[in-house]
Structure 1
Amino acid sequence: MKTTALAMLTATSGLAAPSSAIPTVPPPVARPNVLFIACDDLRLNIGCFGDSAAITPNIDRLAARGTLFGRAYTQQAVCNPSRQSLLSGRRPDSIRVWDLRAEFRKTAPDVVPLPEHFKLNGYRTQAIGKIYHDGKRDAASWNEPELHISMPKREDYRLEENRKPHKGSKAAATEFVDAPESEYPDGRVADAAVDSLKKFAARGADSPPFFLAVGFRKPHAPFTAPKRYWDLYDPAKIPPVEQPAPPRLAPDIALHDSVELRGYSDMPKVGPLTPAQIARLRHGYYASTSFTDAQIGRVLDALDRTGLAQNTIIVLWSDHGYHLGEHGLWCKTTCYESDTRVPFIIATPDDRPRGVRTDALVELLDIYPTLVELCGLPSREKLEGRSLVPNLGNPAAPGRDGARSQFPRPWPLRKDALPGVMGYAVRTTGHRYVEWRKFGTLDVVARELYAYKGDQLFETENIVNRPESAALVRRMAAMLPQEIP
């Protein structure tokens, strides 16, 4: 077993010391580093998560060296609330962050976020790319320079016609050209991460451990990536939209008009997309996913080359999932499975079983207490997650009884406005229950209940009003928050 902080579990292995052994104080063990990789809008279209069409060799090899969480859920399916919830270790209601502008530093000033907790306990912490929401700096979290935290939307494009100013900084929803990876934001993030790993390695074994957060912006739209990643896929072989219609009997409040996608200059402002547009967008999403996978691979390769992998915990997560035409929806901002279920992998440098998948229900909130335990840091009060250390390498370890998510309406919220209605969802092994409540009260304006089979990602029929569902509805309703935020 490697001599890492995680290897301390040998102390309880039950092996007796020889009777002649003289008790000694063991030498100090180096605390593990943390490589914290975030992706934006990455759903489960990944090889190791079961998509045979996806070309993602680097995420797949990361899963082969760690534990893949097949049933992991975000707390709110849009960037800023999801990230601030994860990093604070508290639910969106607890930190009062539900939109793209709010910050827990103002709404919940008692919070000590995950990277700051590591910083306060002797780690060298650094952010490269999108960790908090785009452009949101947080000097208290980092003691190394923050790099590529903000990039203009025009940097997603290489064609001049798309780089020109557009309303809302959006141009075409897709673009591919034969360009170097380093000309794209995620290529620059990978370059900087590789350079930082080299610098951490050069500091020597006696230097403090690091917490390096690397945030990739893809496959977030626009779906722009070098042409060679588009060429990986035959458009005719990309899976079609699995369920293009909304769930039967779903309330209108659960759906939306895909406003995020319609902001791109080549997308219709109202009405359905054409088959050609749908095919192009889905092709672009797969290409962008493979591009990000390649950048992740570059970072993992640098970790291995420097020797740092021998004592580094790797965490890979996405802030939320995504719809690619299913239910007639594009992008995120629902309480449904495809938006709330996320890719999540943890690889530790100890002798735990590798290449393990667990279907235990977990939440992104669980990352904070898990890393605290793995690295031997003092715990923090008010964390609303639970440590997943028992689940690492152990598919039989239990998870939550239910994973909770939420989303407000209307969306987007007006500046400085509170939600009008909040959707609260709980996902159990076989069902999802949603209550849409007037915000600030417990008054329910709509309800949903869906049954799933296996890894099913898309809801089919709202069965909440069936008489045989009544007992299940009562049980699942009791799992939702019972306090007024």
Structure 2
Amino acid sequence: MTIKAQEKYNVLFIACDDLRTDLGCYGNDLVKSPHIDQLAREGVLFDKAYCQQALCAPSRISVMTGRRPDNTRSWNLTAPIRRTDDVVTLPEQFKKNGYFTQDIGKIYHNWHVDGHADYPESWSVEPVMHYGTHNDDVPQVRGKLPENTAGTKWTKRLDVPDEAYYDGRIAQKAVEALQGFSGNPGQPFFLAVGFWKPHLPFNAPEKYWDMYDKDLIPAVYNGDPPKRIPEIALHDSWEFFRGEPNTLSESDVLELRHGYLAAVSFLDAQVGKVLSELKRLQLDKNTIVVFWSDHGFQLGEHSLWGKNSNFENDARVPFIISVPGEGMKGHKTGSLAELLDIYPTLLELCGIEEPEGIQGKSLVPVLKDGNATVNDAVFTQHPRPMYYKGKPDVMGYSVRTDRWRYTEWLDFDTREIVDRELYDHYYDDKESINLAREKRFRKVVDELHRKLQGAIVEPLVKR
């Protein structure tokens, strides 16, 4: 089987926010995600794909520049996209090679730093629906709003149409953009569609809540911190509690987990609208579809809510690539991948030269043969404190191999090891016991330490 590289492939680049691998195609039978599941049947699903940092801005900047956070020097929500002069973003490289590039929705995070989200460098036309905050996503309807029947301050349950919220309107605008492209077949396009869900608040329209029976939603399976965990690995779940104590009741937890599932199905429906229009217009015959989330999310696991850690639930992401024609169909690969790899993969598929400084690896060998290996290890990191001024005190670097997750917490200035974590995913995929201090795993720790050191030789930011 071969994949034919050609300059005229279109690219539909679909991003979402805070999506775990809680999807039917990833083996969660409770979740109603038929449209994303169908995309997985039409392409290659990466079962072990990981973000570079479990926070919106640094993760997205890494994807869009093909560089690790230590290279982009983006570890928080306020770093600019172009902190160094030599950055060439992914859509910018497509634009330089004759593509019409368009951004609808949240692709970059930091619109408030970079004005109009890197226009005109990255995009042929000014982005739309990319600004605001998640809390600004209040329902827009004619007349009086229906009653909110949700039970927490983080949830809303209203009988409103999809288009009342950002993602419904983003899907609508993406459909309109595809219709415009179909009338100009001589112009290849790179269309980025960034959905805001399932990020907080969990406010999907009521019909998506109704898809789930509350009695069937499971409780948190590992709600306690791992045994022998260093305190620095945890956090205060600031996104939910804003520094206040966690006072969630059992009914609150169930409501939040229900709201998250509703938000996932709401997202799936919007993805389905875009993919359906792609097929109706027959653009699917020459369009690569990429689906990814910027990071995962904790829903009470390890006592945590939100992201901002190096645990598997934060670092692991859904990631699917569908290539028209001869690409593999319906294959779930266990080959390790990083979101960093999206950049060189798309360039190779489209026959575009790779600019200097790209740190990811092309996954085309895996798209040809799902058993192929491109990465023997992948890397995620996160600073402490989570929200710092100037520079972090400590950086946690995590390496994931097929079996192990190993994390070193390093003093940001001296690079001395502050603490370590080691989890054996063959026997403990819930990461419930930190094995780093056990003598019997000393050789494993030493080997993973060397892998990690080789990946973080980037010089520290000049201070």
Specify the TM-score bucket, using the shorter chain as the normaliser. Answer: over 0.9
What residue in structure 1 maps to residue 4 of structure 2? 7
CA deviations over 1:308-344 (Å, ceiling 9, x no partner): 1110000000000000000100000001100000000
Amino acid at match of 2:289: I
1:313–1:348 Cα contact (<8 Å) kept = yes
Structure 1 position 145 matched with structure 2 position 126 = yes
Structure 1 position 173 matched with structure 2 position 146 = no
CA distance in 2, matches of 1:422, 1:30: 40
What residue in structure 2 maps to residue 64 of structure 1? 41
Match of 1:448 among 418, 421, 424: 421
1:354–1:393 Cα contact (<8 Å) kept = no
2:40–2:320 Cα contact (<8 Å) kept = yes
Match of 1:271 among 230, 242, 246: 246
CA distance in 2, matches of 1:305, 1:366: 30
Match of 1:219 among 189, 192, 198: 198
**Partner SS for 2:12:** strand
CA RMSD of aligned residues (A): 1.9
CA deviations over 1:22-72 (Å, ceiling 9, x no partner): xxxxxxx76100000001000011000010100000000000000000000
The 5-angstrom pairing of residues 215-364 of structure 1 reads 215-263=194-242, 269-364=244-339
**Partner SS for 1:51:** coil
- What residue ranges of structure 1 are gaps of 5+ in the alignment? 9-28, 164-170
1:333–1:339 Cα contact (<8 Å) kept = yes
What residue in structure 2 maps to residue 130 of structure 1? 106
- State the number of aligned residues: 443
CA distance in 2, matches of 1:154, 1:289: 17
**Partner SS for 1:478:** helix
Change beyond 3 A, Cα 1:153–1:464: closer
- What residue ranges of structure 2 are gaps of 5+ in the alignment? 146-151
The 5-angstrom pairing of residues 360-379 of structure 1 reads 360-379=335-354
Amino acid at match of 1:7: K
**Partner SS for 1:314:** strand
Cα distance, 1:393 vs structure 2: 4.7
What residue in structure 2 maps to residue 33 of structure 1? 10
CA deviations over 1:244-294 (Å, ceiling 9, x no partner): 00000000000011010114xxxx921341101100000000000000000
Amino acid at match of 1:176: R
1:174–1:222 Cα contact (<8 Å) kept = yes
CA distance in 2, matches of 1:156, 1:446: 40
CA distance in 2, matches of 1:275, 1:108: 47
What residue in structure 1 maps to residue 441 of structure 2? 469
2:134–2:199 Cα contact (<8 Å) kept = no
Q: Which moved more, 1:184-193 or 1:145-154?
A: 145-154
Q: With the length of structure 2 as denominator, give the TM-score of the two structures.
A: 0.92
CA deviations over 1:204-252 (Å, ceiling 9, x no partner): x32x200000000000010011000000001110121010000000000
Cα distance, 1:440 vs structure 2: 2.5
Cα distance, 1:413 vs structure 2: 1.6
Structure 1 position 399 matched with structure 2 position 380 = no
CA distance in 1, matches of 2:406, 2:309: 13
Change beyond 3 A, Cα 1:68–1:411: same
Q: Which moved more, 1:347-356 or 1:281-290?
A: 347-356
Q: With the length of structure 1 as denominator, give the TM-score of the two structures.
A: 0.88
Match of 1:478 among 415, 426, 450: 450
**Partner SS for 1:419:** coil
Amino acid at match of 2:380: S
What residue in structure 2 maps to residue 194 of structure 1? 175
CA distance in 2, matches of 1:174, 1:306: 37
CA distance in 2, matches of 1:109, 1:54: 43
CA distance in 1, matches of 2:95, 2:281: 23
Cα distance, 1:134 vs structure 2: 5.1
Change beyond 3 A, Cα 1:366–1:332: same
Change beyond 3 A, Cα 1:359–1:225: same
**Partner SS for 1:345:** strand
- Greater Rg, structure 1 or structure 2? 1
What residue in structure 1 maps to residue 392 of structure 2? 419
Change beyond 3 A, Cα 1:298–1:457: farther
CA distance in 2, matches of 1:380, 1:75: 20
Cα distance, 1:307 vs structure 2: 1.1
2:19–2:296 Cα contact (<8 Å) kept = yes
Calculate percent identity across the aligned residue pairs: 47
What residue in structure 2 maps to residue 112 of structure 1? 88
Change beyond 3 A, Cα 1:50–1:329: same
